């Protein structure tokens, strides 16, 4: 991985845009391999892994790091390794000496895998605000030292103020980059209830660092923090429109008031137990399913459907998609066939294109006034400009017969979602509600009819 101007290039020289998930290895060491495979199956192209050097948390050993790298490479995931011991510290020696010594131990290992591995020197070092020169000078020194000990990987650096202060990074990013003889530095914001409290704050910080022409991403973000909401929908839309990478916090295992930031259940760590936050990160139109493109295939991706998109950076929709990894209701169990996302523009761009989806191919004798056959079933895959509902059966478009397929006039169902026209269940949430997937959006199965 190597920075070129404001872009990050993979080992093949192609632009890479993070669409990843944070995984807390240091606290849940027995869940890491499973978690990596789960986010891979959902289409993520990267993981940021929490490590520890022993200063605060139990040290992540060389052998552990070697295994983590192997799991990520097998899944085809770019892997950011970060030290979490010095979160909020203002002590320069924590990163210029202690963190440096840890990375020195890992040097030969990470250098061998530099096409996959990015070194995030220390998570959220410098918790204090309004000390821009401290941040700039310390990281300039740290970057020089990392290169002096022989680290060849791309280096990631978090903003001050627990990752949320914009001024120092905007003002000193160029000087930190200049300190690196390899010019291979990625800068990272962490967006929570300060930087992400409203669109004005968010766009000011994003546009400010963007104007500096450096490579930057959002290394962490959530939907809420410490009683304050985060404009996460605006963040994801901005990043899609501007080709900026992001890594959502976090797969599972948050504690206290932060448990709401779990993307999936801490009981299972499974992709089949996604929270509402997880569903949005993976299945909204700006989410991983529609905007993630992998740098590498990996050896366990033949049937996973994990390379789920080809750069669909055009959508600004903020709707939830409460589906799981098998959300395409007319597709085979591992197909995840939305390879061309934003597919609801016309009746021929349906993603649910399974040729075996309706076996009664000769039973559909009815036609509508425009000579299109009516669908046998009620699964909606697109909506015409006139409001007509369309499906996809036997490899061709058909019109939904609304006199047969209707939602009984019941309007909006739970959480404000519409009832499904059809009865195909793609996901059952923890509260027992059955969900379907029609017209590229989630809907609630109408149990009074199905």
Please say whether the dihedral angle defined by the alpha carbons of residues 63, 69, 75 and 80, taken in this order, is positive or negative.
Answer: positive
Over residues 332-391, the pLDDT tens digits come to 333 333 333 333 333 333 333 333 333 333 333 344 434 467 777 777 666 665 666 777
Say which DSSP state 60 is in: P
Asked whether 100 and 138 are in contact (CB, 8 A), the reply is no
Q: List the one residue out of 36, 50, 41 whose CA is nearest residue 254.
A: 50
Provide the annotated active-site residues.
124, 220
Q: Tell me, what's the pLDDT at 372?
A: 61
Average pLDDT over residues 400-404: 70
Asked whether 390 and 400 are in contact (CB, 8 A), the reply is yes
Q: 50 pairs with which residues across the strands?
A: 82
More confident: 277 or 302: 277
Structure tokens at 434: 């059955």
- Report, in angstroms and rounded to the nearest whole number, the Rg of the chain calculated over CA atoms: 23
More confident: 20 or 356: 20
C-alpha span between 114 and 110 (Å, rounded): 6
pTM of this prediction exceeds 0.75: no
What mean pLDDT is reported for the chain?
82
Greatest Cα pair distance, the chain, in angstroms, is 77
Over residues 176-201, the pLDDT tens digits come to 999 999 999 999 999 999 999 999 99
Mean pLDDT is lowest, of 193-207, 208-222, 279-293, 386-400, for: 386-400
CA dihedral in degrees (368, 372, 373, 378; nearest 10)? -80
SS3 127: coil
SS3 17: coil
Residues in the chain: 450
From residue 259, how far is each of 31, 165, 275, 363, 371 by CA, in Å? 17, 24, 11, 51, 53
Do the bridges between strand 78-83 and strand 46-51 make them parallel or antiparallel, or are there none, so unpaired? parallel
Mean pLDDT is lowest, of 39-43, 74-78, 225-229, for: 225-229
Structure tokens at 1: 């991985």
C-alpha span between 327 and 321 (Å, rounded): 9
Q: List the one residue out of 92, 17, 79 whose CA is nearest residue 48.
A: 79
What does residue 295 show for φ and ψ, rounded to 5 degrees?
Answer: -85, -35
Q: Would you give the distance in Å from CA 364 to the centre of its chain?
A: 41
More confident: 338 or 73: 73
Beta strands in 112-211 (DSSP E): 117-120, 154-158, 185-191
Mean pLDDT is lowest, of 381-385, 398-402, 437-441, for: 381-385
Q: Is the pLDDT of residue 395 over 70?
A: no
Over residues 232-242, the pLDDT tens digits come to 999 999 999 99
């Amino acid at each position: 991985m190597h920075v070129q101007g404001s872009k990050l290039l993979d080992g093949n020289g192609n632009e890479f845009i993070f669409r990843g998930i944070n995984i807390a290895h240091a606290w849940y060491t027995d869940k890491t391999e499973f978690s990596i495979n789960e986010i891979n199956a959902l289409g993520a192209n990267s993981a940021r892994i929490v490590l520890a050097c022993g200063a605060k948390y139990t040290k992540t050993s060389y052998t552990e790091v070697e295994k983590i790298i192997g799991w990520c490479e097998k899944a085809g995931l770019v892997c950011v390794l970060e030290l979490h011991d010095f979160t909020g510290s203002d002590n320069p020696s924590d990163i210029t000496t202690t963190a440096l010594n840890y990375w020195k131990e890992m040097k030969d290992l990470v250098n061998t895998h530099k096409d996959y591995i990015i070194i995030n020197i220390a998570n959220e070092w410098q918790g204090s605000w309004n000390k821009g020169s401290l941040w700039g000078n310390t990281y300039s020194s740290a970057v020089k030292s990392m290169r002096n000990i022989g680290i060849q990987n791309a280096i990631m650096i978090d903003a001050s103020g627990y990752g949320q202060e914009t001024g120092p990074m905007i003002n000193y990013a160029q000087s930190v980059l200049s300190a690196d003889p390899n010019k291979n530095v990625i800068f990272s914001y962490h967006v929570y209830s300060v930087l992400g409290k409203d669109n004005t704050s968010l766009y000011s910080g994003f546009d400010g660092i963007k104007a500096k022409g450096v490579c930057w991403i959002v290394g962490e973000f959530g939907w809420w923090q410490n009683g304050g909401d985060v404009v996460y929908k605006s963040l994801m839309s901005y990043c899609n429109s501007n080709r900026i990478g992001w890594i959502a916090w976090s797969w599972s295992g948050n504690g206290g008031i932060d448990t709401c930031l779990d993307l999936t259940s801490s009981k299972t760590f499974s992709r089949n137990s996604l929270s509402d936050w997880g569903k949005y990160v993976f299945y909204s139109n700006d989410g991983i399913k529609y905007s993630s493109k992998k740098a590498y295939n990996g050896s366990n991706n033949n049937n996973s459907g994990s390379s789920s998109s080809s750069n669909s950076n055009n959508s600004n929709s903020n709707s939830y998609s409460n589906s799981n990894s098998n959300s395409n209701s007319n597709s085979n169990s591992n197909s995840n066939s939305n390879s061309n996302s934003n597919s609801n523009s016309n009746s021929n761009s349906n993603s649910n294109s399974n040729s075996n989806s309706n076996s009664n191919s000769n039973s559909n004798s009815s036609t509508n006034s425009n000579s299109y056959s009516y669908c046998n079933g009620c699964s909606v895959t697109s909506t015409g400009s006139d409001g007509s509902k369309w499906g996809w059966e036997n490899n061709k478009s058909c019109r939904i017969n609304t006199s047969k397929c209707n939602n009984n006039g019941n309007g909006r169902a739970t959480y404000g979602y519409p009832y499904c026209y059809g009865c195909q269940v793609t996901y059952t949430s923890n509260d027992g509600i059955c969900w379907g997937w029609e017209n590229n959006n989630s809907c609630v199965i109408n149990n009074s009819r199905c």
